Amino acid sequence: MRNDTERAIPESGPGKVGCPKNRALLLSAMVVASALAAPFSQAQEGVSEDYFFADVPIVLSVTRLQQPLTATPASVSVIDRKMIRASGATSIPDLLRHVPGFQVAYVTGKRAAVTAHGRGDEYARDMQVTIDGRSIYDPVFGGVSWQDLQLDIDSIQRIEVVRGPNAASHGSNSFAGVINIITEHPAAQPGLLAKTLVGEGGERSLYGRYAGSAGGLDYRIAVGHNESDGFDSREDDESTDWISLRGDLQADPRNTLMLQLGYSNGPREEGFYDDVLQPVRNVDHINHYQQLRWNRLLSTDEELQLQLYHNFQRKDDHFQVELPVLVEGGFGFDSHRYDLELQYSNRIDSGLRLAAGVGARYESAEGFWTFAGERHTRRQYRLFANIEWELERGTIFNLGGMYEAYQGKRGLFSPRFALNHRLNDNNTLRFVASRAYRMPTLWEDHANLIAYLASNKMPLDYVFRSIEDLEAEEITSFEIGYLGNFPQLGMQLDARIFKERISEIIANITDDNILGPLNLDPGAQSYANNGKVYITGLELELNYRPVSRALIHMGYSLTNVYGEQLRHIYDDGTRRYLDLDSSVPQQTFSLLGSYRFGGGFEISSAYHYVDPMEWLYDGDYIPVQKRWDLRIAKSIRQANSDLDLELLFQNIDGEDIDFYNSPDRNQINLSDRRLMFRATLRFH
């Protein structure tokens, strides 16, 4: 992690308040035009029922109850199979670029940070991410290690993204939203699949799976290998091997069991030359998980669910630097998370539904380098309930809350109140007020990173040292939303205006008053609750699918932000604050268009635009980001097999700067144009 340095930030970057350049949108616009013309091209034959996009998606990520989007107490983006295929994305973070208000950065060629409404660093700690109900949030540094997931995009049924605080249902760390990844049931993927991808930049991947059934058991086993040379501008090669297993057992008409297991490992290059705190080095990762879920149908309207899971992560990361004596340090650790939860849901009457439950969690972390050999633990107990009450006049009340008791911390209560009013069958207004928290990570609470003399492990100086009893960050959010469903046009529009107040910010600071074991160089990195920010904005999401062959998706966000947080405490007690205005991009925009022609040919194109923003802490000020992707595909259908061939052109509009932008220190991530080929063979 970087020493505190002054960085000149321009008043505005190119395109700060302007629109994306037309030339970069040209091909995307052509694909969109093809999709727009689709209904007219079928007028001679008569319009099929696919022309009407009448079904409103059903989601379960907001309140833990299955709800149509017209009833949810939050704006939800649904990335379904058609959108996943059309995007041509090779990773989940790239899929999330299509969500309004989201920003994605690659710290290395494959290590991504995903955040909403900016304020992100390389760990992006304010987003809860789950896979089939299992949280994959890293309890040590926070965020998600996306490249370590034992999951291929092909096995994802859909991704539900709750835009806005959702701690009432998912607890602390559902601060800016929830990303709920729902995988396909093995019964929906029978047979064998093999997939390969090769491309520029050393992109190579192999994936295979087999799904079958035996009696009441449906199962899937999958294996994968991914490797990449990363950015051309630095050393960040990586390789990952993984395996996963899922089994679903229908024990009887009332009881089902699901078991999931996964394991991955692989080496990665990290760091930069001439960086004392982040030198070039090899880092080894090991991750595995176990998940067991039991569902019992008590009656037609009542269900009980019990879930237990365990996540393990090991990061072997240490290095030596000549200063001028040989000094040793690192960021390695081992972590565990155990989670047990019981949930009860019931339709009490025709207009009243309830989902409630209790849960317990145990987390631990230890590491010679990050915690000076100490082991730190945290227990959490939670109680939650969400009630949906529908009136006859088309008005729905959603009332929810979660109380969390943490070891060594004050209790947290996260409430939410929402009112959805249906103007008519196709137009709904939504009013939401909520509060959520972000609990400090184990690293923020207990960081104790020491530089040692390499010859005998003698402690020399603190690099990171947590000395404060940190409180949780707090967000209060208000939202007015509109959902329009236009079946005659095959269109849906989601719009929201919001206001967020974030206080008790857990700020990464430099404190000159922290003295090391030998008092060699006073000062170290630390954390403190000091800062406040206000964010207001508008988000728009448009889905247009007039026929099964065509797809158009557009996302746009406009935000305004002001606030600051503590950055430096000097030895004389004076303080310097970091202005947060530039940490949130003013505008983001995404456009995806796809059209499937006859003969199995398909063309799709995606465009993403992000105004200038600064990634905090290790990151830098990044100018306008524009990414333009193109996908050309051919499907060959046979009686017993299907073959999909795809050409993927990424970032064809030219180089972009990503996360690091310090050429004076030779620390810069440059995303260049890349061509890839992907082939998928399915046997029925």
CATH of the domain at 300: 2.40.170.20
Tens of pLDDT, residues 438-488: 999 999 999 999 999 999 999 999 999 999 999 999 999 999 999 999 998
Residue 4 makes CB contacts below 8 A (sequence gap 6+) with 510, 525, 567, 568
Angle at 189 between CA 80 and CA 83, to 5 degrees: 15
Q: Are 532 and 502 in contact (CB under 8 A)?
A: yes
- Please state, in angstroms and rounded to a whole number, the distance separating the CA atoms of residues 542 and 289: 37
Tens of pLDDT, residues 537-589: 999 999 999 888 999 999 999 999 999 999 999 999 999 999 999 999 999 99
Q: How many C-beta atoms surround the C-beta of residue 556 within 10 A?
A: 18
Find where tokens 């996306």 sit.
146
In a domain, 10, yes or no: no
Query: What region, left, alpha or beta, does residue 511 occupy, with left being phi > 0 and alpha being psi -120 to 50 degrees?
Result: beta
Number of folded domains in the chain?
1
- Across 69-111, the runs of DSSP E, i.e. the strands, are 75-80, 102-106
In a domain, 406, yes or no: yes
In a domain, 44, yes or no: yes
Of 445, 312, 466, give the one whose Cα is nearest residue 377: 445
Find where tokens 């940190």 sit.
470
> What pLDDT was estimated at residue 226?
97
> What pLDDT was estimated at residue 38?
52
Tens of pLDDT, residues 167-213: 999 999 899 999 999 999 999 999 999 999 999 999 999 999 999 99
- Across 618-655, the runs of DSSP E, i.e. the strands, are 621-622, 625-637, 641-650
Of 140, 1, 142, give the one whose Cα is nearest residue 442: 140
Domain that residue 410 falls in: 22-683
Radius of gyration of the chain (CA): 25
Beta-carbon-side half-sphere exposure of residue 552 (alpha carbons within 13 Å): 22
Give the predicted TM-score (pTM) of the model: 0.93
Residue 440 DSSP one-character state: P
In a domain, 657, yes or no: yes
In a domain, 4, yes or no: no
In a domain, 11, yes or no: no
Tokens for 509, please give them: 């600071």
Of 34, 13, 17, give the one whose Cα is nearest residue 588: 17
Residue 198 makes CB contacts below 8 A (sequence gap 6+) with 204, 676, 677
- Please state, in angstroms and rounded to a whole number, the distance separating the CA atoms of residues 421 and 480: 11
Instruction: State the 10-residue block means of pLDDT for the chain, 684 residues long.
Output: 43 40 51 52 41 66 95 96 96 97 95 94 92 96 94 96 96 94 96 97 96 96 97 94 98 97 97 90 97 97 97 96 92 98 96 97 97 96 97 91 95 97 95 97 97 94 95 98 94 97 97 89 94 98 93 98 97 96 97 96 97 95 95 95 97 90 92 95 94
In a domain, 16, yes or no: no
> What pLDDT was estimated at residue 49?
40
Kindly compute the dihedral angle of the four CA atoms of residues 134, 137, 140, 144, in this order, to the nearest 10 degrees. 130
Q: According to DSSP H, which parts of 472-519 are helical?
A: none
Tell me the β-bridge partners of 525: 464, 510
In a domain, 3, yes or no: no
Q: Are 400 and 169 in contact (CB under 8 A)?
A: yes
Kindly compute the dihedral angle of the four CA atoms of residues 663, 669, 675, 680, in this order, to the nearest 10 degrees. 170
Find where tokens 């003295």 sit.
515
